[in-house]
A and B are shown apart, each in its own frame.
Chain A
Amino acid sequence: AQSVAQPEDQVNVAEGNPLTVKCTYSVSGNPYLFWYVQYPNRGLQFLLKYITGDNLVKGSYGFEAEFNKSQTSFHLKKPSALVSDSALYFCAVRDMGSGGYQKVTFGTGTKLQVIP
């Protein structure tokens, strides 16, 4: 069974500082990994995904994520945080599996608070 863990319920970072939101995963096959952002009372917005290839994936709004197969991690990063980045971030994984429909499994979310 696939799973994804976001070990931090909340991350606080000062505006202008780099930010990292952590994600680790477990799958039986090759992972497909996603990051989404959710603003209060809104739906999830897609940020980026890893399918194959370069371990550093660039996405929307200056975010990037680094895929590390040996550590089974897919941490979200941004070089310089903005107050407007404050939101709830979800990591998600989909296992290629052994056939049939493979659902997307979401983490429990990490609240990012950027302090002015």
Chain B
Amino acid sequence: DGGITQSPKYLFRKEGQNVTLSCEQNLNHDAMYWYRQDPGQGLRLIYYSQIVNDFQKGDIAEGYSVSREKKESFPLTVTSAQKNPTAFYLCASSLRGWDYQETQYFGPGTRLLVL
């Protein structure tokens, strides 16, 4: 899982609650990404950030929010507007987001469960 850490490993959300998933990298990568993984659906892009203080919506951004105030950190907030948040959430990073040849490196993931 390289130099990307995600916390917590498991997270429980109550109805109407916002929760924040942490992602930190020490790889000096410019670009960071959040994916959602559901069984049988592969990975779907939620948000991505190619540089500090900039981020863009992915395919399934509704009900989620992010910030990128530091190069090393890209936290994801799952808001109460996300009606089906139960999933495995994966954070990834790459050296330069604009380079098509680049490999994305993944963190160990956070499993979010609804109480």
Contact = CB atoms under 8 A, between A and B. Distances in A.
Contacts of A101: 48, 50, 56, 97-98
A103 B111 contact: no
Contacts of A32: 100-101
B41 A96 contact: no
Q: Which 10 A-B pairs have the closest CB atoms?
A: A43-B106, A106-B43, A108-B42, A44-B106, A106-B42, A43-B108, A51-B101, A43-B1, A43-B109, A43-B107
B104 interface: yes
A43 B4 CA distance: 10
B103 interface: yes
Contacts of A34: 103
A103 B42 CA distance: 14
Interface residues of A, number: 25
Contacts, number: 58
A114 B48 CA distance: 35
Nearest to B104: A104
Contacts of B101: 32, 49, 51
B106 A102 contact: no
Interface string A34-52: 1010000111111001010
B103 A49 contact: yes
Nearest to B6: A43
B106 A45 contact: yes
B42 A46 contact: no
Nearest to A108: B42
Which of B56, B90, B101, B107: most chain A Cβ within 10 A?
B101
